[in-house]
Structure 1
Amino acid sequence: MTRHAAELVLAIAAACCAGAALGKSSDRQQTMQVEANKSDCTVTDSGPCVLTGNVHIVQGSLVIDAARADIRQGDGDIQSAKLSGSPVRLKQQMDNGGTMNATAARVDYDLQQDTVVFIGGAVVQQPGRGSIAGERIVYNMRTGQVQGGGGGDEGRVTLQFEPRNRAPAAEADTEEQD
């Protein structure tokens, strides 16, 4: 792989990680490892880059696994990244010590619009905080807004909100017996 192609792969992974603004902020300052069975990257400022087969991206506490990553550039900058898999899996430590887990058939990052779209059986969980599940979940990196949809006429989105001051299970059982 040429130096420019290697830089492109790193930029791709950085683009993918930009969507993880929900996660640990220090991760963006960490070295990134990108592995795949194959890469097919054009070494121009506007060429595509496709990573296929066991795509594995690690940066700090962020771990992304996908079957394929399609990256598009324009004028030397990453424009979009589309990850697909069975499913795509993301896991990242949060600044508050919790862990964010997400899965979807496809994850689309649009760096021009600062959005991440989870598509197909999408689930985003933050233990202790809650979760959202649906056929489509859109996260706006600029505003922090999350939108979910069930897809189709009968589809539904499911949200679960955890109480902030939940008593540990053992304490709750003891209190009920008194």
Structure 2
Amino acid sequence: MQSTRRISRVSANALLALLGVALAASSPVMAKQSDRDQPADVTSKSFDGSQQPNGKVIWTGNVVLTQGTLKITGSKATGYLDSDNSIIRVVVDGSPATIHQLDDANQPMDGKAANIDYKIDQDFAVLTGKAEVHQPVKGSAEGDKLTYNTKDSTMTGESNGGAPVHMTFQPKNKTPGAAPATPAPPAKKKP
């Protein structure tokens, strides 16, 4: 009979915390900074609100917000404006709501959830309800709630129910077509 070691819940939680730190510490890449200098464009079936300083606008029906490489979609979005009449926060609901953005190295970040609360002026997005964030070069995370920092690409995750937070890490890129290393020949014995 072969016995296997069981991992306790405390050990599993410690492992998840360690993996979260590893993801947060992995080479940070910022969201494309030039996006903020681009105009924000929103399309939807209807809207309600006014474009006034410190105002609020509610868009409904096939909402698509773009600003440079940033694209957010959903069925309803509420935009909050600052004193200069710029969007500083957008709360998007959908089935699912989605977010896509390139970083300064032109690598994509894609997320989806039932709700996305993107605080543009504070550099983070909170995805709740079957939340997923995928970064092809780095990996992915899934959970009930994911908080993604758009400034340095760090993330935290939480699980409120029975399903755990799940993370996948991508291996470091290998040079295409590179041959595997061959072991050195054994050293010759001297007489």
TM-score normalised to the size of structure 2?
Answer: 0.65
8 Å contact 2:31–2:152 — kept in the other structure? no
Shift of 1:140: 4.2
Q: Which residue of 1 aligns with 2:68?
A: 60
Letter in 2 for 1:123: E
Q: Which amino acid aligns with 2:68?
A: G
Offset of residue 72 of structure 1: 4.1
Q: How far, CA to CA, are the matches of 1:28 and 1:113 in structure 2?
A: 12
Per residue, is there more strand in 1 or in 2?
1
Give the distance between the partners of 1:74 and 1:33, measured in 2 at CA: 16
Deviations 1:6-55 (A, max 9, x none): xxxxxxxxxxxxxxx94222222223321111110045545432111111
1:135-166 CA-partner distances (Å, limit 9, x unpaired): 100134577542101222x2211111112234
Residue 30 of structure 2 contacts residue 152 of structure 2 at CA under 8 Å; is this kept in 1? Answer: no
Q: Say which of 121, 130, 146 aligns to 1:121.
A: 130
Instruction: Please name the residue that 2:165 is paired with.
Output: 157
Q: In structure 1, what is the equivalent of residue 94 of structure 2? A: 85
Work out the CA distance in 2 between the residues paired with 1:44 and 1:79. Answer: 13
CA–CA separation in structure 1 for the residues paired with 2:84 and 2:33: 25
Gaps of 5+ in 2: 1-28, 181-191
**How far has the Cα of 1:68 moved from its partner?**
0.6
Q: Which 5+ residue runs of structure 1 have no aligned equivalent?
A: 1-20
CA distance in 2, matches of 1:72, 1:147: 24
- Structure 2 matches for 1:70-149, cutoff 5 A? 70-72=78-80, 80-110=89-119, 115-140=124-149, 145-149=154-158
Q: How many Å separate the matches in 2 of 1:144 and 1:91?
A: 13
| 8 Å Cα contact 1:149/1:155 also seen in 2 | no
> What residue in structure 2 maps to residue 31 of structure 1?
39
**Does the residue aligned with 1:134 lie in a helix, a strand or coil?**
strand
Deviation at 1:110, TM superposition (A): 4.1
Q: Distance in 2 between matches of 1:144 and 1:165?
A: 18
C-alpha distance in structure 1 between counterparts of 2:151 and 2:137, whole Å:
24
Could you list the structure 1 runs, at least 4 aligned residues long, displaced by more than 6 angstroms after superposition.
74-77
CA RMSD of aligned residues (A): 3.0
Distance 1:61 1:115, change over 3 A: closer
Provide the aligned length of Structure 1 versus Structure 2: 152
Larger Rg: 2
AA in 2 matched with 1:109: Y
Q: Which amino acid aligns with 2:127?
A: F
What is the CA distance between 1:71 and its match in structure 2? 3.0
